[in-house]
Amino acid sequence: MKKWVVKALLVCLATGTFLSGVSAPPAMGAGATTSMKKNSQVSKPVSQPVHNMIIFNDYQVAGLDSGGWNWVKNDEFILPPETALDIDLVQTTYGSGTNLNRSEVLLDGVELPEYQTEQQSAQSTFRWQVPRFSIPAAKLSPGQHTLTFVVTDARSQKSTVHVRFQVEAQNFPSIFEGEKPEGEQVPSGSQTQIFGMMGSTSFASTVPGTWKLINKTTNAEIRSVPANVFSTGTLATGNYDLLFIPDDSSMSTWMTHIRVGMAELYVGTDASGQKLSQGQQITAPSAPGVVKLYSPVVGRWSVNGTGQTLTDSQHFEVVIPDMMAGMTMTVTFEPNQAANTNNLWGGSTIEVKIQVPGAPNSCDPASATATLDVLMQPNAKSTLMVERENLYSSNSTVKLYQNPVHVIWLATAAEHVERGSEASDDEGPGFWAVDNVVVDESKLNWDHTALLLSSYKPGRYKVNYYSKREPRQSWCGYIQVIEDSPPIPSAPACAKNEAGLAPAPGPILWKNNRGSEYRDGQTVIVNSAADLDSLRDLRLMSTYAKRNGNKKIKDGSGKDTITYYMPNLVWTYGEMPFGSSQDYIGGTISSKNKVQVFHEGKEIARFMPSTNEEEEDEGEESLDLKAIIADNENKPGVYTVKVTNVFSYKTCSIVQKDRKYGKELDERERDQTMTFTVEVK
């Protein structure tokens, strides 16, 4: 016997409402003829439309008693979960001539127009059995509902009946991942992911029942096991359904979809973008720029060698720095794998490559300001020794010999790798690239200040380094690792303090306190003394030699090694004093500048470094051109401001003379000038 029929034996009746608010008294069941207690409402007119019978899924929930009143079985009908509601209606209307019989249905007070029907007849009494219609389970959520039925005749008279009923909630068993019923429950209808080319998982239930594993592609049943714990066994890439049918028939069947395969990646913010496969290479739109990636599942994202990471996310924005032009970046995505699942082959990590458009930076020493050191460890029992120090960027190949190749580090600072001293780490952590491919973290040290060259096979490699602290601190060069003993040197070598880097000067310009700039060849026309206010606090922007502490220099080897310190000088661009000199004892580069002001070609002011060695050449912070013009009695005419920068750097070269090699030391100078004029009316 169906359980809603059993519940119907407990009669709980309520009132149906007729036309103009007239309600029918309750009755004792379908077709009841027992005398029923009337409420305070008036008798029902004989010609009023009426519902003769309302039936839910072959069970009558409303009808007429012997007095013509409707009885209704509220709260007696209980609909099982995920079950459609079939409805049968019989209703009667009265009239003369053309007779109309219209049926309308409302669910919880909201009209369902798709179920409105009507028929016409010439009969004065028109009894109509409305064709059966069904309300799908999707419209009937678990809980209490009220269906309202309205019958209307040709005179627009209506009769209304309300039927209240229950929809059962699904009663799923408690299912857990793993072999023990503990942790977080797996809801029915969920999806279980196994990331990899094949894998397995297991589930446990708190109640007895039967597990059924189905291949969705073929609809073939793979396994059927009566047990509380179930293991899928090894599943190949594909889609599967796992059902658990409890022995208790009052409980609902539980199901999960199992997907075995690699996680999916897309370009963009959702699955409508380009789908990516393992190892696929795409091209970034520009550098600098951003490449957006998406996965339908959450996981951990990282960009190898750059420090860009994000966890527990479906979306990731890969930041493309401008210095990465012409290089290839690798993005790694590792989906969050459930602890219970096992990927037996192929792994779960996906890698895609991003090719950055543009040409890679050349290894021009004028554009790369960092210096690197080389450290070697010949074997496991030897100590890590400094092989080269202060390597400048160059298109020339640096050859490193080791037989067999064991450990070779290319580092921003040797002492930092040896001792972890931050004080000696000038350039700091950086991005590294080998042959224009960004290096994975596995080939870098703990803080990305050194590259393990020995992790590559012997060969010649182009290496790029960009400081994360200051992108202008960069290095570019060619390193050849040779698995052999080093050749015997046959020529002298330039010492580390015998050559300096040639400058790559930026433009000279003046800035006032309002942010205005005055560049080479520019003319400013002044009509009054008030217009000179913008020329009172001019500050000079140019390239100059800047000291960043000292560098430790070692000459010789073994017992003959000499250690000393020399200024660590780099070319930099920014605001600097004018009429100043940057010259340090032992330095390989230096700079100085002078400023001249002319009126109609005649010099009226000069600022330049002092020739007295006992005086400091700190220069002036700002130029008050208005005051200089005032000192010249504000004479009209053309005033010219000229800046001259002088850059000096030591050079060392090995030359052959009379079948012998020798060193030639020199110091070169490079001048840079700019002028701008002020025309005073």
As given in the structure block, the two tokens for residue 327 are: 């290089």
Beta strands (DSSP E) in 124-188 are 125-135, 143-152, 158-167, 175-177
- pLDDT of 625 strictly over 90: yes
As given in the structure block, the two tokens for residue 634 are: 């504000």
Instruction: In whole angstroms, give the CA distance from residue 590 to residue 545.
Output: 6
Rounded mean pLDDT, 659-678: 88
Q: What is the pTM for the complete model shown?
A: 0.52
Average pLDDT over the chain reads 86
Least confident range from 1-15, 211-225, 242-256, 362-376: namely: 1-15
Please report, for the chain, the start and end positions of each structural domain, with discontinuous segments joined by +.
Answer: 50-167, 175-261, 265-337+346-356, 373-419+426-483, 509-680
Residues facing residue 543 across a β-bridge: 573
Q: 526-532 — which CB contacts under 8 Å span 24+ positions?
A: 526/678, 526/679, 526/680, 526/681, 527/681, 528/681, 529/626, 529/634, 532/625, 532/626, 532/629, 532/680
What CATH number does the domain located at 265-337+346-356 have? 2.60.40
Instruction: In whole angstroms, give the CA distance from residue 245 to residue 248.
Output: 8
**Domains 175-261 and 373-419+426-483 are alike in CATH topology:** yes
Strands 265-267 and 289-303: antiparallel
Percentage of the chain lying above the pLDDT 90 cut: 59
CA dihedral 53, 54, 59, 61 (to 10 degrees): -100
Residues facing residue 120 across a β-bridge: 100
- pLDDT of 681 strictly over 80: yes
As given in the structure block, the two tokens for residue 305 are: 């060698």
Instruction: Write the pLDDT tens digit of every residue in 531-567.
Output: 888 999 999 999 999 988 887 777 666 566 677 777 8
Instruction: In whole angstroms, give the CA distance from residue 589 to residue 546.
Output: 9
In CATH, the architecture of 373-419+426-483 is: Sandwich (2.60)
- pLDDT of 424 strictly over 90: no
As given in the structure block, the two tokens for residue 485 are: 């003993």
Domain 50-167 has CATH 2.60.40.10: yes
Output DSSP code: residue 161. Answer: E
Instruction: Write the pLDDT tens digit of every residue in 334-389.
Output: 998 776 666 656 568 899 999 999 988 778 777 777 889 999 999 999 989 999 98
CB atoms near residue 523 (< 10 Å):
11
- pLDDT of 497 strictly over 50: yes
Distance, CA of 109 to chain centre? 46
As given in the structure block, the two tokens for residue 94 are: 């009265």
Q: Are 416 and 384 in contact (CB under 8 A)?
A: no
In CATH, the architecture of 175-261 is: Sandwich (2.60)
Unique residue bearing structure tokens 């250690």:
563
- pLDDT of 13 strictly over 60: no
